């Protein structure tokens, strides 16, 4: 009798779970759960601002009725830019919160730590802001990156520098860490393959260093036509200041990570920044006409943290792609369908990024170009090749 009771209970349970199993993980009748992780604390906390635009966008979609009748529910975890913490955060999102997909990661090291795990669990993963090319190379079936990666940035800078007339001598300063190297190496490669030259000087700067006199002096001695820099925001500002201080007046190029307006503000010396160009992935400057509707969106639907700038806006492209894929995945979204839709996305214009996003089954690097931000005649301008009005 005891056995009979157990077996009937077992059958009932099995039937119930069979019914339950129909619904995809993270999807309920009226919600879809998206997990996010980003550095909200610690030394890289400024990059946590990528989440601001994204959350505002999801809120806006919800306010407009959601996706196929479901509201997007966001669960945000802090990874403090630390690989072990990122793993814990992601596991919580996947195993405890049972999210449908993950939209997160700004530090490449953190994303790489969870890449294999997420692939094993086949959880769709949209990169939030990490720039390492190793995210999508080697390709993972579930990981998509909607932003220009470090290879793209490096190549854009090199091509831009060489578009300046009579340019033969390029010098470079970078961080010795993974992020710096993943830009330095493609830059050296492209310079050699396409332009058949090498950098005349190649110096490194430690993250957190405040004085780089030896680096500046070495760069100056090499008499470069243009200097490329692959540095984090603070260090970029220090570099620009120091270059000016010691009379290194070649044009300076900065990479993705230190927005132009922020750098100018940090350097606080118009004389030092008059020949500065910084990589720009957005379609315009954050206080210009192109971005104004997104700025308004963040003000209305989001929780801005001070003045709205590039960081807040940069993640929105990815959010749009997520929503688009959810829409197209239909009223019964599954993770497979979601990934399938993403793989077929071509030339998706986000209105935020300067280039459209395209994915395919064997290429998940969604954006392959960017522009350089500078100021021409006192106004911010985004340029693709060297402006003729400047030297």
Partner 1 sequence: MSSTWGKRLGLAASALVLLLLFAAPKLANGYIIYILAMMCINVVMATGFNFVIGFLGQLVFANTAFFGIGAYCYSIVMVHTGLPFPVAFLAACIAGGVAGLIVGLPALRLTGFQLAIVTLAFNELMRWIYLHSGSIGGGASGMELPDPQFLGLELINDRQKYVFILAVTVVAIWMVRNIARSTVGRAIVSVGAGELAAASLTIPPVRYKIAAFGLSGFFTAIAGALFALLLGRVAPESFSLGQLLLGFAMVMVGGMGTVVGPILGAILLTAAPEFLRNIAGAEEILYSFLLIGLLLFMPSGLFGGLCALIPSLRERHLGAAQ
Partner 2 sequence: MLGQLILSGISQGAIYALVALGMTVLYRTTAVLNFGYGDTFMLGAFVFYVFLKIAQMPFGVAALLTVAVMIGVGLVIERLLIRPIAARPHLLIAMMTIAISYLFRGATRMIWGRDVQPMPSLFDFPPVFIGDMVLTSQSLVIMVAAAVLVIVFFSFFNYSALGKLMQAASHSPRGAALIGINVPLFSACMWGLSVAIAAVAGILVAPVTLLYPDMGAATLLKAFAAMTLGGFGNLGGAVLGGVVLGISEQLCGGYISTSFMDIFPYLVILVVLLVYPAGMLGRSEITRV
Q: How far is CA 357 from CA 42, 212, 327, 360, in A?
A: 31, 38, 17, 10
Q: Which residue has the tokens 């990666």?
A: 149
Query: Read out DSSP for 95-161?
Result: IIS--SEEEE--SHHHHHHHHHHHHHHT--EEESS---GGGTSS--TTEEEEEE-HHHHHHHHHHHH
119/221 Cα distance (integer angstroms): 49
Q: How far is the CB of 60 from partner 1 (least distance, A)?
A: 23
CA-CA-CA-CA torsion for 187, 204, 310, 43, nearest 10 degrees?
140
**Tokens describing residue 197:** 């030259």
Query: Distance of CA 113 to CAs 49, 71, 86, 190, 232, Å?
Result: 21, 30, 7, 28, 21
Among 114, 267, 291, 365, which residue interacts with partner 2 (rule: CB under 8 A)?
A: 267
Q: Which is nearer to partner 1, 31 or 134 (CB)?
A: 134
Structure tokens of 346? 């071509």
Q: How many residues bind partner 2 (CB under 8 A)?
A: 36
* Interaction of residue 208 with partner 1, rule CB under 8 A: no
Judged by CB under 8 A, does residue 55 bind partner 2? no
Stretch 298-317 residues interacting with partner 2 (CB under 8 A): 305-306
Residues 6+ apart with CB under 8 A from 263: 233, 236, 237, 240, 254, 273, 276, 278
Element holding 55 (H helix, E strand): helix 50-63
Among 15, 168, 192, 208, binds partner 2 (CB under 8 A): 208
Q: Are the C-beta atoms of 121 and 94 separated by less than 8 Å?
A: yes
Stretch near partner 1 under the rule CB under 8 A, chosen from 142-150, 176-184, 236-244, 381-389: 176-184
Q: What is the C-alpha R_g of the chain?
A: 23
Instruction: Using CB under 8 A, pick the residue from 93, 203, 322, 326 that binds partner 2.
Output: 203
> Is position 292 an interface residue for partner 1 (rule: CB under 8 A)?
no
Contact 233, 262 (CB under 8 A): yes
Segment interacting with partner 2, rule: CB under 8 A, options 4-12, 70-78, 263-271, 292-300: 263-271
The answer to whether residue 320 forms part of the interface with partner 1 (CB under 8 A) is no
Residues between 115 and 134 that touch partner 1 (CB under 8 A): 116-117, 120, 132, 134
Is position 385 an interface residue for partner 2 (rule: CB under 8 A)?
A: no
Pattern 97-136, binding to partner 2, x per CB under 8 A? ----------------------------------------
Closer Cβ to partner 1, 178 or 249, answer by number: 178
Considering only 9, 15, 65, 176, the residue that binds partner 2 (CB under 8 A) is 176
- Site of interaction with partner 2 (CB under 8 A): 41, 43, 45-46, 48-49, 176, 203-206, 208-215, 217-218, 221, 233-234, 237-238, 245-247, 265-269, 305-306
- Site of interaction with partner 1 (CB under 8 A): 40-41, 45, 76-78, 81-85, 87-89, 91-92, 94-96, 109, 112-113, 116-117, 120, 132, 134, 176-182
């Amino acid at each position: 009798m005891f056995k009979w009771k157990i077996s009937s209970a077992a059958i009932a349970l099995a039937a119930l779970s069979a019914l339950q199993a129909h619904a995809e993980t993270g999807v309920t009748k009226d919600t879809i759960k998206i997990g996010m992780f980003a550095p909200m604390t610690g030394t890289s906390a400024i990059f946590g601002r990528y989440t601001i635009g994204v959350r505002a966008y999801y809120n806006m979609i919800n306010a407009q009725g959601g996706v196929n009748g479901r509201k997007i529910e966001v669960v945000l975890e802090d990874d403090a830019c630390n690989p072990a913490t990122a793993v814990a955060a992601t596991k919580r999102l996947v195993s405890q919160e049972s999210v449908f997909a993950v939209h997160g990661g700004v530090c490449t090291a953190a994303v790489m730590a969870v890449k294999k795990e997420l692939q094993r669990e086949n959880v769709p993963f949209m990169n939030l802001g990490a720039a390492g090319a190793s995210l999508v190379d080697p390709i993972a079936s579930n990981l998509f990156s909607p932003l220009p990666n470090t290879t793209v940035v490096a190549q854009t800078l090199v091509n831009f520098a060489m578009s300046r007339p009579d340019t033969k001598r390029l010098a470079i300063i970078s961080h010795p860490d993974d992020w710096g190297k993943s830009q330095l190496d493609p830059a050296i490669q492209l310079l050699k393959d396409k332009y058949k030259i090498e950098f005349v000087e190649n110096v490194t700067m430690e993250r957190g260093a405040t004085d780089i006199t030896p680096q500046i002096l070495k760069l100056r001695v090499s008499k470069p036509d243009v200097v490329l820099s692959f540095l984090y925001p603070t260090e970029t500002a220090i570099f620009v200041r120091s270059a000016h201080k010691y009379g290194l007046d070649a044009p300076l190029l900065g990479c993705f990570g230190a927005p132009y307006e922020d750098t100018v503000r940090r350097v606080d010396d118009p004389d030092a920044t008059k020949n500065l160009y910084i990589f720009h992935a957005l379609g315009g400057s954050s206080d210009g006409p192109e971005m104004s509707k997104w700025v308004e969106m963040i003000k209305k639907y989001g929780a801005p943290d001070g003045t709205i700038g590039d960081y807040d806006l940069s993640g929105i492209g990815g959010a749009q792609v997520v929503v688009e894929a959810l829409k197209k995945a239909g009223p019964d979204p599954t993770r497979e369908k979601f990934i399938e839709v993403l793989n077929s996305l071509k030339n998706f214009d986000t209105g935020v990024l300067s280039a459209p996003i395209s994915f395919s089954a064997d290429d998940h690097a969604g954006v392959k170009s960017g522009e350089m931000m500078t100021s021409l005649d006192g106004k911010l301008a985004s340029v693709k090749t060297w402006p003729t009005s400047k030297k």
